[in-house]
Structure 1
Amino acid sequence: MGKHLIISSTGFPGTNKTWRFVQESFKEPLGALAVFCGDKVIVSGMEVTTVSSVDMIANGFITYNGEIIPFLGGNLDSIVSIYETVDNVAYNVDTNSDGNLDVLPGYRTRYAQCGSGGNIGSFPFSDLSRLKTAKDLSAFTLPANLVIDANYVHTDNNFTLSLLNKLNGIETGAEVNVQADWNVANPTSDAFIKNKPTRLLNYLYKGVAILGDFPSALTETTYINFPDVGTSNYMVLGTIHSFRPYGDAAQDLLSWFTAGHEPTRFRLAAYEPFGGGQNIRFEYLIIPL
């Protein structure tokens, strides 16, 4: 210890300084040891046994708030409480000259015990962890399949700054080759796609109707049939695709509209401003409204 009394002869003065010196000589190193061990650590004792179907815990010592304090055994409980008692004593002084010695705090005792009701604090028993002894630590053995290569080149020789920056740039929790899935709705899933567009064009059906010479007269209507789309409330986006040679396609110039929308068909009506036969097909999308 850093502090030690040198008592050369009888008559050494036992003053307040003496008692503070003695107390600090062990309080300071034990406090440092408590910090080294960590808070709420079982330093010794506190073995749990079962007596007549009752779980009991033995006396011991724990660390708490930078101190090593005794633990009083008894019935095991899920809560540990910290208690403090202060004993008053008559000091050899009479400050008010009333003929009576002054009674002041003299002895403070702090301890831990299972159960609730501590006047300093309490915490779950599960917060305690047992300190490993030097014997436990020395019993560590290397894994049997560990390969020690004497020719291994230390990373000081081959680990570059660019590699370090690359490692530091990897986000915590990053994964390799995660397969994204458009249909995954759980935002915590690795396959979830963020910021998906919401205004997407959905269609009920797309199709092609081969019409050939349509209309065969100045005006004509025909039904365009398709599988049941479950509604008649839709719009038709379409185009006339001409198959006539370039230069003769004017005959395929038509004005058209749709009518009579049903879940499985609609009517296509067309008007031809020029005479002659057509060779067309009608390509269309059915869009829900």
Structure 2
Amino acid sequence: MNNSNFNQTGGYPLTTERLQELVTGYKIFNAFGSIAGNYTIISGCELVGNTVKDGFIFIDGELLEFKSAVVTPTSTVVIVETQIIRQFENITIQKPVYTYRHATFGTAEISWLWSSFIRPFETKLIQNTFNSFTTLVNNLEKQVNDLQNKLSPIEQKLSTIAEGAEVNVQSDWSVTDILSPAYIKNKIDLSSPFLRKSVFNIGNVGSSGNVNDTKMTVSFPSVGTSNYMVLGALRGRSAFWNDDNDVFWTYGNEQSTSFEIFLREIVANTQDLKFYYVLIPL
């Protein structure tokens, strides 16, 4: 920076030019306010009660002393300029020799809302703030990567869904077309529990006029096993139910191609019965 050397011998040429050099020299300090930015509180200006104390603020490239004043929510900052007048030696008149400028609260044609002024953080904290920001960015990047890893399988799955796919398909058990949206895959075959379903004609039980037992053999193509259970029902003629309902039955001697049914009538009537049965493997 510029420098004045006063400590010399031989009679220093102290003129108004040398003094102006001093004024020019200290004006350079206004540049430091730009580090904080326009409309900033450089130092002081603490709020005590409803009063902003003395300090320094930066306005439009000029570092100004702030004089304490009572503040309100709508207070505006103004610049007050005072001329210092002194008597000159060789004339009888007085002239301004110094201009004192400071800021405070007031009203003027040019003013700035006090609420627009902020206090910057100390520059020595920038590194710590930067380190914290870097850590935050790294953590966010990791979270984004983790989220992307979770979303990728979902995106791949969604990409397999055809455009215009049915949202609410009505499934239908009877549909056999495997290309139909209503087709049900891996249906349970309802006939699978049964080895056989059939009807056997019994006719009359016993001989006419006598109450006795009757054994009959129910034959069929081989079901591949004799380990099964017979579930059945006797069905009579609707017009002769009072004759046909006098019979009960049981079964035995299971073979892979037949079983025996044993019937007994309670009253010696003439029946005309059919035996509806299914074979269930055990």
TM-score normalised by the shorter chain: which range applies? 0.3 to 0.5
The structure carrying a bigger helix percent of its residues is 2
- Give the structure with higher Rg (CA): 2
If the length of structure 2 is used for normalisation, what is the TM-score?
0.43
If the length of structure 1 is used for normalisation, what is the TM-score?
0.42
